[in-house]
Amino acid sequence: MQPIKNILVAIKDLDARTLPALRKAVQLAKANGATLELFHALSQTVLIEALEARKISLREFETEQSAKALRRLNTIAQRVRKHDVEVTCAVEWDYPAAEAIVRRALKTRCDLIVAERHASRHVAGWLLAYTDWELLRQAPCPVLLVKTRKPYHRPTVMTAVDPFHENAKPARLDDALLAVSAQLVTSLKGRLQIVHCVPSATLVAAGWASGPVVVDTGKTSQRLAQARKALAVEVARHPLPSHKLAVLEGSAREALPQAARAHKASLVVMGAMSRSGLQRLLVGNTAEAVLDQLACDVLVMKPGKFQSKVPRRTRGAQLMALPSAMTG
């Protein structure tokens, strides 16, 4: 990953009392000598009847609301500039919000997108129907989803890698994960914890009245030893700051959140894979399953050859007319 020099901050709520994503973006900008762009997408639906009632054209309405939003962004930016951070502002009429952010990222060629995580949990987490998931799926650069308000203070950065490069996971993705983790730990004066998950080599056998019995096949210890060796060899290839290694036994969707809590991680760095065919709608299974379970911030990266499929042209305002029964 190239150095973080241009950060796009997606401002979801212009009237929010606190902006944790912005606060952490400012920390990253100061630590890395980066610039910020505050971006807000005007993605709400515009009612034709409302325009007619005000006797105003769509273009006039777009201009009016854009100017209002830009003034608010500039007010926020003024506070940021007090921290000696270079910041610009941008507003676009575009929808849906995730695509609007991606389009802006493509236009500005930013190195990192910082966005606040939506609070609601997903009933069907594997369906990318919400802004967070669409942003992860389509973003052309790493995405930092901010889930906590507490600012970074010598943060523990936990990075999940796969030294065996299973499931078609390219080695370069792990290289990028370790590189960005080193950059974050160095700039924020934090601590680096590198982990790899190894599924348990166990069988579930039918038990007596007490229920099923979990039987160790005898391969678990061997797999763990192999994983520790492979992880050490993989990490040794990289110029990293002081760090610790850990091999976690169990599925990633369970082991990663548990380890993040145990190590009091402020940030988890992980990779996501794009699929082919019908599975294109999915980000890697690990990212999908883990994201809602993690209580800390998450930085998600995709392979370097990934290309976003989002069209470059903005959509403008989304117009809608009320049903005739409501207007009659």
Q: Which residues of 67-105 are buried (b: 16+ CB within 10 A; e: fewer)?
A: eebbebbeebbeebeeeebebebbbbbbbebbbbbbbbb
- Both 199 and 116 in one domain: the answer is no
CATH number of the domain enclosing 74: 3.40.50.620
pLDDT of residue 266: 98
pLDDT of residue 293: 86
- pLDDT tens digits, residue range 27-80? 999 999 999 999 999 999 999 999 999 999 999 999 999 999 999 999 999 999
CB 184 within 8 A of CB 240: no
- Both 158 and 31 in one domain: the answer is no
Give the pairing of strands 243-249 and 87-93. Answer: unpaired
- 128: tokens are 């990318």
Angle CA 240–196–235, to nearest 5: 25
**Could you tell me how far CA 265 lies from the centroid of its own chain?**
16
- Both 311 and 298 in one domain: the answer is no
User: How many independent structural domains does the chain possess?
Assistant: 2
Residue span of the structural domain in which 60 resides: 1-140+307-328
- Of all residues in the chain, the percent with pLDDT exceeding 70 is 82
pLDDT of residue 128: 36
- Nearest-angstrom CA–CA distance, 267 and 262: 13
- Both 162 and 228 in one domain: the answer is yes
- Both 294 and 281 in one domain: the answer is yes
Q: Which residues of 6-22 are buried (b: 16+ CB within 10 A; e: fewer)?
A: bbbbbbbebeeeebbbb
- Both 154 and 301 in one domain: the answer is yes
CB 270 within 8 A of CB 299: yes
- Both 42 and 188 in one domain: the answer is no
- Both 163 and 191 in one domain: the answer is yes
With CA atoms as reference, report the closest residue to 25 among 6, 12, 1, 3: 6
- Both 102 and 167 in one domain: the answer is no
- Both 154 and 89 in one domain: the answer is no
- Nearest-angstrom CA–CA distance, 241 and 253: 27
How many other β-carbons are positioned within 10 Å of the β-carbon of residue 188? 21
- Both 172 and 85 in one domain: the answer is no
Element (H, E) at 235: helix 220-236
- pLDDT tens digits, residue range 253-307? 889 999 999 999 999 999 876 544 333 333 455 566 678 788 999 999 988 778 8
Least confident of 106-110, 134-138, 153-157, 218-222: 218-222
- pLDDT tens digits, residue range 226-258? 999 999 999 999 999 999 999 999 888 889 999
CB 29 within 8 A of CB 122: no
Three-state DSSP state, 153? coil
CB 276 within 8 A of CB 221: no
Directed axis angle between helix 20-32 and helix 171-188, to 10°? 90
- Both 79 and 190 in one domain: the answer is no
